[in-house]
Amino acid sequence: MSNTTGKIFTTTSFGTSHGKAIGAIVDGCPANLELSEEDIQKELNKRKPGTSKITSPRKESDKIELLSGVFNGKTDGTPICGVVYNNNQRSKDYESIKNTPRPGHGDYGWRTKYGNYNYNGGGRGSGRVTIGHVIGGAIAKKLLKDTYGIKVISHVVQIGDILAHSTDIDKIEKEVELNPVRCGDQEAAKAMEELILSKKAKGDSVGGIVETIATNVPAGIGEPVFGKLDGDIAQSLMNIGAVKGVEVGFGFDVARASASEINDEFYYEDGKVYTKTNSSGGILGGISNGMPIITRIAVKPTPSISIDQETIDYEKKENCIINIKGRHDPCICPRITTVSESSIAMVLADHMIRSGFIHPNNIEKTMNK
Amino acid sequence: MSNTTGKIFTTTSFGTSHGKAIGAIVDGCPANLELSEEDIQKELNKRKPGTSKITSPRKESDKIELLSGVFNGKTDGTPICGVVYNNNQRSKDYESIKNTPRPGHGDYGWRTKYGNYNYNGGGRGSGRVTIGHVIGGAIAKKLLKDTYGIKVISHVVQIGDILAHSTDIDKIEKEVELNPVRCGDQEAAKAMEELILSKKAKGDSVGGIVETIATNVPAGIGEPVFGKLDGDIAQSLMNIGAVKGVEVGFGFDVARASASEINDEFYYEDGKVYTKTNSSGGILGGISNGMPIITRIAVKPTPSISIDQETIDYEKKENCIINIKGRHDPCICPRITTVSESSIAMVLADHMIRSGFIHPNNIEKTMNK
Amino acid sequence: MSNTTGKIFTTTSFGTSHGKAIGAIVDGCPANLELSEEDIQKELNKRKPGTSKITSPRKESDKIELLSGVFNGKTDGTPICGVVYNNNQRSKDYESIKNTPRPGHGDYGWRTKYGNYNYNGGGRGSGRVTIGHVIGGAIAKKLLKDTYGIKVISHVVQIGDILAHSTDIDKIEKEVELNPVRCGDQEAAKAMEELILSKKAKGDSVGGIVETIATNVPAGIGEPVFGKLDGDIAQSLMNIGAVKGVEVGFGFDVARASASEINDEFYYEDGKVYTKTNSSGGILGGISNGMPIITRIAVKPTPSISIDQETIDYEKKENCIINIKGRHDPCICPRITTVSESSIAMVLADHMIRSGFIHPNNIEKTMNK
Amino acid sequence: MSNTTGKIFTTTSFGTSHGKAIGAIVDGCPANLELSEEDIQKELNKRKPGTSKITSPRKESDKIELLSGVFNGKTDGTPICGVVYNNNQRSKDYESIKNTPRPGHGDYGWRTKYGNYNYNGGGRGSGRVTIGHVIGGAIAKKLLKDTYGIKVISHVVQIGDILAHSTDIDKIEKEVELNPVRCGDQEAAKAMEELILSKKAKGDSVGGIVETIATNVPAGIGEPVFGKLDGDIAQSLMNIGAVKGVEVGFGFDVARASASEINDEFYYEDGKVYTKTNSSGGILGGISNGMPIITRIAVKPTPSISIDQETIDYEKKENCIINIKGRHDPCICPRITTVSESSIAMVLADHMIRSGFIHPNNIEKTMNK
């Protein structure tokens, strides 16, 4: 019932995994942003399944169609509606779960709440609905890049026990394209891929951690005390299915630290303000400080596994066993990177407008463009 | 600029650390809830400073005054305004920071954003503004308890390297009152207190982790895909100053897990649905599943320390050294527990109304009360 | 930039007159409402052009396609996306107005605000975008009718100087279908039609007044002081293009009245509360009182006329003459009736949920259904 | 339950006629606006009762106290809380209406909706709660004037059958201060005053029409299709108690007009765009066009009259007679002018920020200031 996110730059999402279509309306994008279907398609392509052995084999073209909001190749300030038609549904896979909620999935909550639950493919609870997020995110990313050169990049930093050792943002950006895990450390990527395939072989799945970095965000966005930048980012990331934890900067490591170890000291260089370290992850007191914004999410192992699990049968009112069929990802981290980028890009675009950096109606009036 | 939180049950907060007053307007609380100033005062007392050696020695009575919204001892559906007047300001402590942002604080962002920044006591960035959160939270807690017996309880589970081993919720509820750390494990609490005092002696501070548990929340609250229960909780917790990470259920440990290990299996007992484990922390697909809701926050060490730190001087446009005076908490975890409870209570109250469990206008019309 | 209306039951509209499609996402409609494309189509048919000599001859099938939100013939609580593809655009009619704003139209404001203005067919300022309103309104009307038997009916009460004398709501409902003016008084309807045709013959247009009546609305909806029922209705009606005035109940006639003449006295009958008169139009203090809700809107003559008018030329930076081509309605009142019904129905549906009458998630849990 | 208005520049109102205090929190006002209690006090003084024979004799000092949001004489971007303590309550006047709703008042709706209704002085339904509107409006007016020289001026144009003939805005501004009716036409004012006094002598009351004009509003504010400038204005005006109709520009007179008579033709003068007439009232297609914004409201006669009226008794469940005591205005138009100005000023301030004219955080960054 709450399918709109953002305050000024808003995305309203619709659609289910096995319905006719999935899409989104982006409202509040200022006019005169160059925008084509290709700008969105390339982001959808990063999210779509069937591209490697470690993703679901479901084949979907995920082709974007823009129904409105662009005139003469540029946004015109009116709502932008993007639609992706579904075409590779296999609903019969899901008949068996009609009356038996899958452990680790939202089936039970959806049915309890609404009574009429489209269980096919997990309905609106499916990861496939993040197509809407990516439509919003692709437009947000274009807006951020064209006005302030802001980049938002996600990479996988952990799968199971395997950690990536990647630190240089430019290197990460290139390296993630070179392996199916979307990891910035090629060696770790190889080990991660093997781990994922070994889990897949057992009908099981594995979790991981995805880091997202946003560069060139100016100091001064975020609105305390209830619209802080980190609060809005945490919400948008936790709203992604499978995410069970969100960190900014040093994250949970702050629990073991002293202030003398992690306070970021300020200094001037060429008249500009920097901090010597960035354990705050670019956000202090809910407002950006001009340093890169760094977040991490904990992604749980895909709950759909072909191992017997106990559950209940609504009709028979008794306990039973479920063994899930369908085409699932043994690890969702590689595909979630695009969703994480999109989620953060939508928040940043909204706040860049709300804080007066990007003109709300027409980017040609944006100062310092 | 975003000082209202919630969609139906809303809290609008105002005030600064050293201004005349701090307070909040709670709107959307249904009528006929018994409410007195004492209900709010007891929560404010848990938050207020000066109660032990490990909190700031600032002396504040933090006395609540209700200006509206209660008629004949019960809410009447109109906005409830609660005010706490400040009376122990020592603004001269802050003259020195007028032009030198404190590392780890929001000073720099606030000044950059608004130009006119009330630096006294950290202004609106001060932890003291969470009085507004606690006013909203106290009313939310009363509403949740009187209608559905919902309890929201926070306890400290880690300070530095010291972990608490507390699991029984009823025991925790009692034990937290027995030590100044608000930890449910007396032995750990003693070690935590010593650690905090040792940091204080050095003019330093230490971080920790606070867990919050909500019991009796019915299955079916939360609104996918952008108003999920865990998304809203993550936002509200990350909006608390000093919080750098938020987890639900298994949290970051999911990264190392397989689905077969952490999926919570369902079963019927006496016609009701339960899960055998609760690694999801009571939320699946963004909707509550009837199990206890469990969250944890990573709390950074209070950035105000009396150790020399490098920073900048806005006026002289040069780098300089700052040594922070004032009365600060060597560890904010014990006092943040009340704010964490309040933040989650506000989200739950809002969602209980939004999902039709509590009548939006008059709790006497609430079903299953 | 603000294309979403409503707080819980929301409609987000998109599309332009000559773009690919126009449509809307309705979010927050509770589950288990029986809903088919036909339910929406029949409302769109009342709005569509080309049905009589007094409407625009543009031929559009205005066929609705539902992309999401319905499962097994009933809503499932997820967003409902409805789309109407455009297929009878004649954009060349509009080249001439690219640089010359039409008097009485929004062209100048749109171009000033956004810089990139889709002038074809008036773009997003076209009356055609009310297709989105009607999609939202059709679903709202179905929800209101199926839960509480609430009806929302509009009829034309004035065109130019010709007044209708229609008072009986049941009679009006039938009679409006019998004439192209959608007037509840057949005699007046005939005169109105003649007046409209005479204006059309001169290339001119004429205004009028449309009344809307909602019956069976229970006492108790509306949220003072900033979400009053009449406030929200006034906004939704004034948001319809061409509307320059809104009245509730006695409306502007109250200016000449004394309280002793227009106060509606209360009385009991069979244990229920009524008022002897209804000059308040069913709303007192911003809250419904159980009597029929009565509103009227002043509709200006369609500004597109084929008579020479003075205007400016942006490119040449000089004054010039415009003579508007295209296919326009000589009087928009007959077609605006559906939009007025839709606008009010959306507000009522939203408030019925917000005030606890209709369950927000599942209408089967609605009390007193 | 909806006591917040505005999207970026918001006002959240609280308090009842006979409670401790009435006030408002204004959030989203940018920093560096010079603001003192006096700026608000002078607006409250125009609204307060007891200033002439034609207003209620209730004596209230209505003294504003600012609790937050101003630092060194200027706003600092944090929420501004203003409070007015009540001190002349006479609650015993209202015991008699506890169980008998007053015709023409909201008593019945409030009681039905919330169950626990503070009937004293009409509680939250009292005209006295518009103090909150005036606090928000006073700050909005200051912001509009200091950044763009925008003025918002209301005057009484009709009482009963007596019409004012006032057209020059500068003259009106001065003349309204010269008579207690706040009418820009001294001769009409005298007749109006006599009419009001004659109604008062009979224990009755009379209605009227108030016009509000805003000058210097730039072209380009307002957000189609659901956040149009006229839509938001209509809502804010209809939200004022006693208002039963709202018009923009030509208003209801458009019903009798042809487009050729009322379309406002454009022309250039010194490179700027104007319209020859202003029958649109400065708003076309929901967006301002740079001409003065002109609205009118229909104000009903104060429903509290000391003439016997029929009503019901909730306790006895029978019909009865009520004769209302207390201190009431025989005509509310003169005092409603300030509320009307405030309501429109809040909408304009919000839209000026939303459309990028006024910087959302700091007015020193506002272009063309």
What CA–CA distance (Å, rounded) separates D211 from C71?
Answer: 51
What CA–CA distance (Å, rounded) separates B158 from B245?
Answer: 14
Question: Which residue shows structure tokens 């209900």?
Answer: B39
Q: Which residues are registered as beta bridge partners of A272? A: A269
What CA–CA distance (Å, rounded) separates B238 from B243?
Answer: 6
DSSP for residue C211: E
Instruction: Verify whether the Cβ–Cβ distance B234 to A230 is below 8 Å.
Output: no
Cα-based distances in Å from A77 to A10, A363, C123, C125, D106: 12, 10, 11, 12, 41
Q: Is residue B317 helix, strand or coil? A: coil
Instruction: Verify whether the Cβ–Cβ distance D360 to A367 is below 8 Å.
Output: no
Chain A residues whose CB is inside 8 A of the C12 CB are 4, 12, 25, 27, 79
Q: What is the CATH number of domain A4-365?
A: 3.60.150.10
What pLDDT score was predicted for residue A280?
98
Is residue A356 a contact partner of residue A33, using CB atoms and an 8 Å limit?
A: no
The residue in chain B having the minimum alpha-carbon distance to the alpha carbon of residue D24 is: B25
What pLDDT score was predicted for residue D50?
81
What CA–CA distance (Å, rounded) separates D261 from B231?
Answer: 55
Question: Dihedral sign, CA of A257, A258, A264, A265?
Answer: negative
Q: Is the pLDDT of residue B132 over 70?
A: yes
Q: Kindly calculate the radius of gyration of chain C based on its CA atoms and give it in whole angstroms.
A: 21
How many residues in total does chain D contain? 369
What CA–CA distance (Å, rounded) separates A98 from A120?
Answer: 8
Percent of chain B residues topping a pLDDT of 90: 88
CA-based max dimension of chain A = 73
String of DSSP letters for C301-342: PPS--SS-EEEEETTTTEEEEE---S---S--HHHHHHHHHH
Instruction: Verify whether the Cβ–Cβ distance C254 to D312 is below 8 Å.
Output: no
Residue C369: which pLDDT band, with cuts at 50, 70 and 90? very low
What pLDDT score was predicted for residue A1?
66
Query: Which token pair is B231?
Result: 């998304």
Q: Kindly calculate the radius of gyration of chain D based on its CA atoms and give it in whole angstroms.
A: 21
Q: Is residue C295 helix, strand or coil? A: strand
What pLDDT score was predicted for residue B1?
67
Query: Which token pair is D218?
Result: 């730039």
What CA–CA distance (Å, rounded) separates B284 from B266?
Answer: 12
Which residues, at least 6 apart from B60, have a Cβ–Cβ distance to it below 8 Å?
Answer: B48, B49, B50, B86, B87, B88
Residues C64-103: tens digit of each pLDDT: 999 999 999 999 999 999 999 998 766 666 777 889 999 9
What CA–CA distance (Å, rounded) separates D131 from D204?
Answer: 25
Residue B149: which pLDDT band, with cuts at 50, 70 and 90? very high
Minimal C-alpha gap between B255 and chain D (Å): 39
Residue B338: phi and psi, rounded to 5, are -65, -35
What CA–CA distance (Å, rounded) separates D349 from B282?
Answer: 43
Number of CB atoms found within 10 A of residue D72's CB: 9
pTM of the model: 0.98
Quote the mean pLDDT of chain B. Answer: 95
Q: Which chains touch B (3 or more CB pairs under 8 A)?
A: A, C, D
Q: What is the pLDDT along chain D (369 residues), one digit of tens a residue?
A: 699 999 999 999 999 998 999 999 999 999 999 999 999 999 999 998 888 888 888 788 899 999 999 999 999 999 999 999 998 766 666 777 889 999 999 999 999 999 999 998 889 999 999 999 999 999 999 999 999 999 999 999 999 999 999 888 999 999 999 999 999 999 999 999 999 999 999 999 999 999 999 999 999 999 999 999 999 999 999 999 999 999 999 999 999 999 999 999 999 999 999 999 999 999 999 999 999 999 999 999 999 999 999 999 999 999 999 998 777 899 999 999 999 999 999 999 999 999 999 999 999 998 554
What CA–CA distance (Å, rounded) separates C33 from B327?
Answer: 59
Instruction: Verify whether the Cβ–Cβ distance C245 to D252 is below 8 Å.
Output: yes
For chain A, list the strands marked E by DSSP. Answer: 4-5, 10-15, 21-27, 64-66, 70-71, 74-75, 80-85, 151-159, 162-163, 208-215, 243-248, 266-269, 272-275, 283-284, 287-288, 293-299, 309-313, 318-322
Minimal C-alpha gap between B6 and chain D (Å): 12
CA angle C75, C81, C83 (to 5 degrees): 130
Work out the average pLDDT over C315-324.
Answer: 94
What pLDDT score was predicted for residue D369?
45
What CA–CA distance (Å, rounded) separates B290 from B341?
Answer: 19
What pLDDT score was predicted for residue C122?
87
Nearest to D206 by CA among D309, D123, D328, D326: D328
Question: Could you report the predicted ipTM of this complex, rounded to two decimals?
Answer: 0.97
Is residue D52 a contact partner of residue D10, using CB atoms and an 8 Å limit?
A: no
Minimal C-alpha gap between B5 and chain C (Å): 15
What pLDDT score was predicted for residue A369?
45
Cα-based distances in Å from D244 to C62, C247, C284, D4: 36, 6, 10, 21
Sheet holding C293-299, edge to edge: C162-163, C151-159, C208-215, C293-299, C243-248, D243-248, D293-299, D208-215, D151-159, D162-163
- Tell me which of A89 and B273 has the higher pLDDT: B273
Instruction: Verify whether the Cβ–Cβ distance D23 to B118 is below 8 Å.
Output: no
Minimal C-alpha gap between D263 and chain C (Å): 5
Instruction: Verify whether the Cβ–Cβ distance A208 to B255 is below 8 Å.
Output: yes
Is residue B310 a contact partner of residue B319, using CB atoms and an 8 Å limit?
A: yes
Q: Is residue C240 helix, strand or coil? A: coil
Decide the pairing of beta strands A318-322 and A208-215: unpaired
Is residue C61 a contact partner of residue C55, using CB atoms and an 8 Å limit?
A: no
Instruction: Verify whether the Cβ–Cβ distance C10 to A4 is below 8 Å.
Output: yes
Burial of residue D327, with CB atoms counted within 10 A of its CB: 0-12 exposed, 13-18 middle, 19 or more buried: middle
The region of weakest confidence among A72-76, B75-79, C198-202, D48-52 is D48-52
Is residue B102 a contact partner of residue B311, using CB atoms and an 8 Å limit?
A: yes
Residues C249-283: tens digit of each pLDDT: 999 999 999 999 999 999 999 999 999 999 999 99
Chain D residues whose CB is inside 8 A of the C105 CB are 284-285
Q: Which of C29, C81, C84 to mutate to test the interface with A (most CBs of A within 10 A)?
A: C81
Number of CB atoms found within 10 A of residue A53's CB: 11
What CA–CA distance (Å, rounded) separates B289 from B282?
Answer: 6
CA angle D329, D332, D333 (to 5 degrees): 150
Q: What is the CATH number of domain C4-361?
A: 3.60.150.10
What CA–CA distance (Å, rounded) separates C339 from B190?
Answer: 69
Instruction: Verify whether the Cβ–Cβ distance C1 to A67 is below 8 Å.
Output: no
Q: Which residues are registered as beta bridge partners of B269? A: B272
Instruction: Verify whether the Cβ–Cβ distance A360 to D359 is below 8 Å.
Output: no
Q: Is the pLDDT of residue C346 over 80?
A: yes
Residue A8: phi and psi, rounded to 5, are -110, -55
DSSP for residue C122: G
Per-block average pLDDT, block size 10, for chain A (369 residues)? 95 95 98 98 92 83 96 98 88 79 96 94 93 98 98 98 92 94 97 97 97 98 98 98 98 98 97 97 98 98 96 95 86 97 98 98 79
D21, D31, D114 member nearest B362 (Cβ): D114
Residues B222-264: tens digit of each pLDDT: 999 999 999 999 999 999 999 999 999 999 999 999 999 999 9
Q: Which of D4, D81, D91, D112 to mutate to test the interface with B (most CBs of B within 10 A)?
A: D81
Is residue C358 a contact partner of residue C350, using CB atoms and an 8 Å limit?
A: no
Is residue C245 a contact partner of residue D251, using CB atoms and an 8 Å limit?
A: yes
Which residues, at least 6 apart from A57, have a Cβ–Cβ distance to it below 8 Å?
Answer: A49, A50, A327
Element (H, E) at C140: helix C130-148
Cα-based distances in Å from B196 to B45, B176, B330: 21, 17, 6
Is residue A298 a contact partner of residue A210, using CB atoms and an 8 Å limit?
A: no
DSSP for residue C363: G
Residue B333: phi and psi, rounded to 5, are -55, -50
Q: How many CB pairs under 8 A join A and C?
A: 172
Q: Is the pLDDT of residue B127 over 50?
A: yes
Q: Which chains touch C (3 or more CB pairs under 8 A)?
A: A, B, D
Element (H, E) at D83: strand D80-85
Q: Which chains touch D (3 or more CB pairs under 8 A)?
A: A, B, C
What pLDDT score was predicted for residue A93?
67
Instruction: Verify whether the Cβ–Cβ distance C31 to A2 is below 8 Å.
Output: no
